Amino acid sequence: MRKVPILGWIMIASCVITLVLIPSRKELDQTKDELATVKNELKAKQKVVEQNFPLSGDFDLVKAEGDAQKRLTEAFSIVYGGLHSKEDLEKNNNMLQSYLGTDLAKEALLDSYNQDQYFLEKNIQTQFGIKNVTDKHDCEILVVVTYQMKIDGKTYGKAYTLNYDLENQKVLSYKYDSMKVVNTDENK
């Protein structure tokens, strides 16, 4: 007999707890709205990713990478060793602005000359590398240039990491590191 009232109270407590824990209609509607919003945002982002994927549509990834390599190698080779006079600068300035963008061209040209004084003897090498492309409008390209200075004849280098738009052939942003290249022939 004692067990029946305890079981009754447990049953009543269970019912009360169940009723309290059942979410309200308002909460359910709010959660459904939030879920619908997240699904729509996900679809929109997925559509953008599909459009920017380099192997979609009529975009030729191999050609775009080749064009980027040609343009950037030419521009960096000229900036780092191909400018020896005002005429060289005037002849190449529009191309440099077009290929590198105004900010990067201005920054890189600071290494090449100051007024009528040109610092670089020659370009030794310009190397190009591109990371695995997942977005044709923003990929990462590495350009490493080595060059010889007129003043001391030593070899220096710069490594540029570019965020690059392959479809529009445009530098979006850049970072760089300078380095002195150790030549083992000089040290002997």
Tokens for 99, please give them. 């290929």
Note the pLDDT tens digit of each residue in 146-184.
998 888 888 888 999 999 999 899 999 999 988 776 554
Residue 7 belongs to a domain? no
Residue 142 belongs to a domain? yes
How many structural domains are present in the chain?
1
CATH code of the domain in which 163 resides = 3.10.450
Would you state the pLDDT for residue 11?
Answer: 85
In the chain, % of residues over pLDDT 90: 30
Residue 148 is part of which domain span?
61-181
Q: At residue 49, does pLDDT exceed 70?
A: no
Residue 22 belongs to a domain? no
DSSP 59-117: --HHHHHHHHHHHHHHHHHHHTTS--SHHHHHHHHHHHHHHH-HHHHHHHHTTTEETTE
Note the pLDDT tens digit of each residue in 80-108.
988 888 888 889 999 999 999 999 998 88
Residue 2 belongs to a domain? no
Read off the pTM: 0.69
